[in-house]
Amino acid sequence: MSGQAGAWIGPSPSLSERLAVLWIGIVGVLFPGVGPLLLGGLEAAGRLTATEIGLAGMAELAAMGIGAALLGPAFGAKRLRLAAVACGCFLAALNLASTFAHDGLLVLARAAAGLPAGALIWIITGMIVRSPRPDRWSGIYLTIQTLAQLVVVSALTVFVIGEFGPNGGFVALAALAASAALAGALIPRAWAALPQAEDGPKGLPSPRGWVALLAVFCFQAFILALWIYAEPLSRQAGHPATTAGLAFSISLAAQVAGGSAATALAGRMSWFVSLTLGVIAAAACLVVFAVLPPAPAFLAASGLFGFAWLFASPFLTPLAIEADPSRRAALLGPGASLLGCATGPLLAALIVGEHDVRPAVWLAGGLAIATLALICGLHLTRHR
């Protein structure tokens, strides 16, 4: 089957196959949502320092990007079940290993865990880019993964962490990774081959595809460079201690709403209009954060920022597909996204001061401008 509008590239997966692939993708991306809770618990238990928390988080995100870009493709589109089962088991083993590791060894364990997690994300990306409406499927995936992270964090907080500590959380993650390995038996055996890019090396995106991947990278770096410092910004503004936690909750609910809105609007609005509006709305929030506003304004900006973040994100996939119709750039999109998520906080950490974290806002603003420039450049130079 060709990739014309309304058709899958290759055989259409059955409902059970789609659900199994969706579950594998959700498990692959769980740790970024659950990680702060577990890593913070490890610091309280004396098994990690504050610096090592940041190193572990960034190392795992970067490794997830590498896993999505390199480890998944190393298995190949014809060995999906082997990739899912092997990576699910490997991820489960590393989550169990995290229950007894300390300090640098724990940082290495979390970095290693990012590789199979990224490969699981690569599997669902293969389905999204071959679907007739990649923007809609991307919106579905992003919305459900956000809900799943909320459910898992809430369940661990209420039922696990208090009684079993962070080790109980890692055991729960290991069980979820094992379930992804079991789900691997239900997914398609292979994805159909993607068309070859006309103006790029065999198997790689076209030059325009690489530009689209740079836009994806800059977008996520922009978002995380700011959001990683939301709590210190709230503290610097003199808000009550509960304000930051409330801001995170409001943002998470707004992210679900933003992803749902993007899913509903997929096919009704162009990717360029939707993505541009999302980036501009998120960038406008930077002005609010920069002036260290009162708590109500900070909470409102956090909600709008979360909504714009998840509203814009699904349209990064059609951006990459229009730039590179072979869809090879779109297949590498999660890798670029995760690398951006790791790089944004790293760059911000290099420029913030001990008593003033607002330089992170200026960095985020520069990355937002770069994102808009790349998006507009691709749109204005597109093949008509």
Q: What is the pLDDT of residue 302?
A: 92
50 or 187, which is more confident?
187
Q: Residues 148-167: what's their mean pLDDT?
A: 85
At 178, the pLDDT band (50, 70, 90 cuts) reads very high
- Tell whether 168 is covered by a domain: yes
Are 108 and 254 found together in one domain?
no
CATH assignment at residue 362: 1.20.1250.20
- Tell whether 139 is covered by a domain: no
- Tell whether 311 is covered by a domain: yes
Q: What is the pLDDT of residue 201?
A: 58
At 1, the pLDDT band (50, 70, 90 cuts) reads very low
At 2, the pLDDT band (50, 70, 90 cuts) reads very low
Residue 158 has pLDDT above 50, yes or no: yes
Are 103 and 236 found together in one domain?
no
Residue 315 has pLDDT above 70, yes or no: yes
Could you list the residue range(s) of the whole structural domain that residue 355 is in? 207-380
At 25-70, the pLDDT tens digits run 999 999 887 877 787 778 778 887 767 777 888 888 889 989 988 8
Rounded distance, CA 54 to CA 115, Å? 18
- Tell whether 4 is covered by a domain: no
At 265-310, the pLDDT tens digits run 887 888 899 999 999 999 999 999 999 999 999 999 999 999 999 9
Whether the CB-CB separation of 122 and 73 falls below 8 Å is answered with: yes
- For residue 257 the two structure tokens come to 């709403």
- Return the amino acid letter for 163: E
Are 166 and 288 found together in one domain?
no
Residue 202 has pLDDT above 70, yes or no: no
Q: What is the pLDDT of residue 211?
A: 94
| Count of other CB atoms within 10 angstroms of residue 114 | 29
Are 286 and 354 found together in one domain?
yes
Are 24 and 98 found together in one domain?
yes
- Tell whether 201 is covered by a domain: no
Q: What is the pLDDT of residue 331?
A: 87
Query: pTM value?
Result: 0.84
Residue 199 has pLDDT above 60, yes or no: no
Are 85 and 214 found together in one domain?
no
Numbers of helices and strands, H then E, in the chain? 17, 0
Q: What is the pLDDT of residue 136?
A: 87
**Which of 109-118, 143-152, 346-355 has the weakest average pLDDT?**
346-355
Q: Residues 182-193: what's their mean pLDDT?
A: 92
Are 182 and 211 found together in one domain?
no
The burial of 107, by beta-carbon neighbours within 10 Å (0-12 exposed, 13-18 middle, 19 or more buried), is given as buried
Lookup result for tokens 């740079």: 214
Task: Kindly state the percentage of the chain with pLDDT values over 70.
Answer: 96
Residue 82 has pLDDT above 90, yes or no: yes
Rounded distance, CA 4 to CA 170, Å? 43
- Tell whether 44 is covered by a domain: yes
At 151, the pLDDT band (50, 70, 90 cuts) reads confident
Residue 260 has pLDDT above 50, yes or no: yes
Q: What is the pLDDT of residue 6?
A: 62
Rounded distance, CA 68 to CA 237, Å? 38
| Count of other CB atoms within 10 angstroms of residue 158 | 9
- Tell whether 289 is covered by a domain: yes
Among 86-100, 122-136, 243-257, the range with the most confident prediction by mean pLDDT is 86-100
Rounded distance, CA 26 to CA 21, Å? 9
Residue 3 has pLDDT above 50, yes or no: no
- Tell whether 159 is covered by a domain: yes
Last residue of a domain, one of 153, 186, 219: 186
Are 236 and 150 found together in one domain?
no
**Which of 35-39, 72-76, 118-122, 234-238 has the weakest average pLDDT?**
35-39
Are 222 and 156 found together in one domain?
no
175-205 burial: b if 16+ Cβ within 10 Å, else e: ebbbebbebbebbbeebbebeebeebeeeeb
Whether the CB-CB separation of 66 and 113 falls below 8 Å is answered with: no
Are 211 and 166 found together in one domain?
no
Largest CA distance in the chain: 60
Are 168 and 211 found together in one domain?
no
Mean pLDDT of the chain: 88
- Number of domains making up the chain: 2
At 361, the pLDDT band (50, 70, 90 cuts) reads very high
236 or 174, which is more confident?
174
Residue 341 has pLDDT above 90, yes or no: no
Residue 96 has pLDDT above 50, yes or no: yes
Nearest-CA neighbor of 222 among 89, 104, 372, 74?
Answer: 372
Q: What is the pLDDT of residue 257?
A: 92
Are 213 and 331 found together in one domain?
yes
